[in-house]
Amino acid sequence: MPIRFDNVTYAYPAEESDLVAVREVSLTIEDGSFVCICGENGSGKSTLAKLMNGLLQPTVGVVTVDGKTTATEEEKELFAIRQKVGMVFQNPDNQMVASIIEDEIAFGPENLGVPREEIGERITYALEAVGMSEHRKHTPYKLSGGQKQRIAIAAVLAMRPEVLVLDESTAMLDPRGRAEVLKVAEDLHRQGITVVLITHFMEEAARADRVVVMKDGRVVMDGAPEEIFRDREAIAKYDLELPVADALAASLVEAGLPLEDKIYGESALAEAICRSK
């Protein structure tokens, strides 16, 4: 069920801003892939995400999900797309409607008209998938940011989506919360769900199998993380930041260490340094 962008441009309505957020993007998100979209603030990455489930509709060009265009006024068709392409946003506090976690997760299935007994099963499944089963009857108010985002993911999972779009869902979290959300995303990817991760943290991009870099509304790089990370010039040009281990590797090479100039994880870097003497 690929998501296909065909020469898509999106300009915000004139009264809001004269900004063109996405320019002439053609892109296909393949089934079962783990795609990371990065770029600095204002590069259009978040707009790109909202084009994927019809929350925004292209000004020029076409976005199709499973061959069906998102540019429809028909509520039924839009809902069919949004059921398939689930989306989690940045601020965990601004996307919850209920004060009890199981009610929050029931909200999506209720909207879809899922029978009551099945909603119960879906809640059980979704909470288990994000590792929050014991919180079913609690209020989200006292949870940590990472836990709240996991609940938001569970709320989307209960709609049985095929694609999970995380629209800067880790931006407001502490490192622990980010790790929690990322682990859940990786687990779900392993179970066959397509994951689209919008982020400006390159450590997160390193986990994806494809990285798309945006700048000024255009896709400027698109490839495997190793390829992207190796292009130091581009990294600097597009205001990305390498994970610490890779930045250190670069400094060590500059300082004259005989290290291969390639992507390093922390363990691999430690290993390479140890062997360099």
Partner 1 sequence: MHNVVFGQYYPSDSVVHRLDARMKLLAVILYIVTVFFVVDYAMYAALFLFVFAVALIAKIPLKVLFRTVRTIVFLVLITSIINLFFTQGDTLWVHWHFIKIYREGVERAIKLALRLILLMLFPSILTLTTTPMELTDALESLMSPLKLLKVPVHAIALIMSIALRMIPILVEETEKIMQAQKARGADFDTGGALKKAKAMIPVLVPLFVGAFRRADELALAMDARCYSSVAKRTKYRVMRFALRDLFASLFCIAVFSLVFLNKYLWPFDEMILSLFGSL
Partner 2 sequence: MSIEIKDLSYVYSPGTPYACTALDKVSLTVDEGDFVGIIGKTGSGKSTFIQHLNALIRLQSGSLKVFGIDLSAKKPDLKKLRGTVGMVMQYPEYQLFDETVEKDVSYGPKNLGLSEEEIKGRVREAIGLVGLDYDEVKDRSPFELSGGQKRRVAIAGVIAMKPRVLVLDEPTAGLDPRGKREILSLVHKLKETSSPTVLIISHDMDAVAEHCNKVALFSKGKIASVGSPREIFYDDALLNETEMDRPAVVRIVKEMEQRGVILPERPVTRAEFVAAVKRWRDA
Binding residues for partner 2, rule: CB under 8 A, are 40-42, 144-145, 171-172, 174-176, 200, 202, 239-241, 243-245, 247-248, 251-252, 255-257, 266-267, 269-271, 273-274, 276-277
List the single partner that 19 binds among partner 1, partner 2, none, CB under 5 to 8 Å by kind.
none
Min dist CB 215 to partner 1, Å, is: 25
Return the number of the residue (138 or 230) whose C-beta is nearest partner 1: 138
Min dist CB 238 to partner 2, Å, is: 10
Min dist CB 154 to partner 2, Å, is: 20
Q: Are strands 218-223 and 210-215 parallel, antiparallel or unpaired?
A: antiparallel
Site residues (vs partner 1, CB under 8 A): 50, 53, 55, 75, 79, 82-83, 86-87, 89, 91, 93-100, 102-103, 106-116, 119-120, 123, 139, 141, 155-156, 159
Min dist CB 60 to partner 1, Å, is: 22
Show Cβ contacts of residue 76 under 8 Å, excluding neighbours closer than 6 positions.
none
What gap in Å lies between CA 212 and CA 233, rounded to an integer? 16
List the single partner that 97 binds among partner 1, partner 2, none, CB under 5 to 8 Å by kind.
partner 1
Return the number of the residue (52 or 249) whose C-beta is nearest partner 1: 52
Count of CB atoms situated within 10 Å of the CB of 35:
23
